[in-house]
Amino acid sequence: MPSVATRPETGADMSAGRIEARADGPIGWVAFDNQKRRNAMSLGMWTGLTEALDRFAADPQIRAVVLRGAGETAFVSGADISEFDAHRSDAAAAQEYAAATDGAWRALGAFGKPMIAMIQGFCFGGGVAIAMKADLRIAADNSLFAIPAARLGIAYPTHSVRDLVALVGPAKSKEILFTGARFDADAALAIGLVNRVVPVGHLEAEVAALCATIAENAPLTIHAAKETIDQIARDESDPAKVADRVRACFDSADYAEGRRAFMEKRRPVFTGR
């Protein structure tokens, strides 16, 4: 297997890059590791990302997942263009590549738990697209963003354009896509592409603290909030599905625990049931 994601530690050491996945208590950490190419996404990494997310989605102990780049240089700098001759040289190869990337995009879009993108350094092209699939984006002050599709003569995926418009609006989306220009973390914060900008030395601690706060809260309530917000944002609301999520919160043991803890003036212990 070209790229392997495992729960306790790391994937196989492959020169074409790998996905590293580990669990730290209730938090799953997924790292994009292709440091020689600024963590550009190889074919094996797309497959490994799907595997990692599927494992964390199925693990009831995991309350939130963090996406990050390995090292200190980049989050993800886009697709690994050096692989295109080998993996996108003809229709059959392109179909295999598309199957791997489509699976990863589906896994990102369908992930039901809170997902945080921890961004440091370069976040270009497909890296921006991956970060936009997260629920929250926390960027170090040394982060640099760009979507250079127009400089490469390729079309940015429709689902990624939709995500961009939802976050920064039509006019800013056009500016970013028309120019392909780079912009820094403060500019990303100003247009709403990221939620917070923090000093690079504090980034991991800030994200870990945010995840700890999320992990303490009621999972069913968080899942209902995520589902409802995502439905509204897509303007493809499924009232029955949202109503089921809300009903599940009120029928849950966590709801009873939350009420008891409030009355007893103690911190609630939520189980996700």
170 with 255, same domain?
Answer: no
* Per-residue pLDDT, 8: 36
Residue at a domain's end among 175, 192, 215: 215
23 with 157, same domain?
Answer: yes
* Per-residue pLDDT, 237: 57
Instruction: Tell me the percentage of the chain whose pLDDT exceeds 70.
Output: 86
227 with 185, same domain?
Answer: no
More confident residue, 149 or 129: 129
197 with 164, same domain?
Answer: yes
232 with 119, same domain?
Answer: no
* Per-residue pLDDT, 4: 39
73 with 139, same domain?
Answer: yes
Whether 10 has a pLDDT exceeding 50, the answer reads no
Average pLDDT in the 172-186 region?
97
Please give the residue range of the domain that contains residue 231.
Answer: 218-264
125 with 184, same domain?
Answer: yes
What's the structural domain count of the chain?
A: 2
More confident residue, 247 or 105: 105
- 94 belongs to a structural domain: yes
More confident residue, 11 or 249: 249
47 with 167, same domain?
Answer: yes
Whether 155 has a pLDDT exceeding 90, the answer reads no
181 with 96, same domain?
Answer: yes
- 48 belongs to a structural domain: yes
Using H for helix, E for strand and C for coil, what is the string for the chain? CCCCCCCCCCCCCCCCCEEEEEEECCEEEEEEECHHHCCCECHHHHHHHHHHHHHHHHCCCCCEEEEEECCCCEEECCECHHHHHHHCCCHHHHHHHHHHHHHHHHHHHHCCCCEEEEECCEEECHHHHHHHHCCEEEEECCCEEECCHHHHCCCCCHHHHHHHHHHHCHHHHHHHHHHCCCEEHHHHHHHCCCCEEECHHHHHHHHHHHHHHHHHCCHHHHHHHHHHHHHHHHCCCCHHHHHHHHHHHHCCHHHHHHHHHHHHCCCCCCCCC
- 11 belongs to a structural domain: no
Distance CA 238, CA 19 (A): 34
Per-residue pLDDT band at 1 (split at 50, 70, 90): very low
- 102 belongs to a structural domain: yes
Whether 122 has a pLDDT exceeding 90, the answer reads yes
Output the average pLDDT for the chain: 88
45 with 169, same domain?
Answer: yes
pLDDT tens for each residue of 205-237:
999 999 999 999 999 999 999 999 998 887 755
Average pLDDT in the 8-18 region?
56
155 with 238, same domain?
Answer: no
- 7 belongs to a structural domain: no
Kindly report whether the global pTM for this prediction surpasses the value 0.95. Answer: no
